């Protein structure tokens, strides 16, 4: 089962990738997003245990062709994820 991505998480990830609809997270959260972004699949899986919503959002924006649009819709409250 894929974790739910809250609007705030979607907005933080959008900002990290320089996409519209996002806003900056705090410094600790920025580092978590950066770690997930840089992680190889094994380490990204380990981060899923503590940050499943952020991992799901990063995976969506990096690997899903519709990921940016989906995260923008979540961040704007247009859809739930």
Is 80 contained in some domain?
Answer: no
Is 70 contained in some domain?
Answer: yes
| Residue-number span of the structural domain to which 25 is assigned | 7-75
Residue whose structure tokens are 């979607």: 10
Give the confidence band of 3 by pLDDT, cuts at 50, 70, 90: confident
Is 69 contained in some domain?
Answer: yes
Is 1 contained in some domain?
Answer: no
Q: Is the pLDDT of residue 1 over 80?
A: no
Identify the pLDDT of residue 81: 61
Number of domains present in the structure of the chain = 1
32 vs 28: CA distance, rounded Å: 6
Q: Which residues in 17-31 are b (16+ Cβ under 10 Å) and which e?
A: bebebbeebeeebee
Residue whose structure tokens are 């972004």: 37
81 vs 79: CA distance, rounded Å: 7
Give the confidence band of 2 by pLDDT, cuts at 50, 70, 90: confident
Report the number of secondary-structure helices (H) and strands (E) in the chain: 5, 0
Is 34 contained in some domain?
Answer: yes
- For 40-60, how does the pLDDT look when each residue is reduced to its tens digit (9 = 90+)? 999 999 999 999 999 999 999
Give the confidence band of 36 by pLDDT, cuts at 50, 70, 90: very high
Is 2 contained in some domain?
Answer: no
């Amino acid at each position: 089962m894929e974790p739910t991505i809250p609007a705030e998480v979607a907005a933080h990830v959008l900002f990290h990738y320089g996409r519209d609809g996002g806003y900056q997270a705090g410094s600790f959260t920025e580092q978590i997003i950066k770690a997930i972004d840089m992680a190889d699949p094994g380490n990204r899986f380990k981060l899923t245990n503590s940050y499943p919503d952020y991992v799901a959002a990063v995976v969506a924006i990096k690997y899903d062709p519709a990921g940016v649009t989906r995260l923008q819709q979540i961040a704007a409250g247009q859809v739930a994820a």
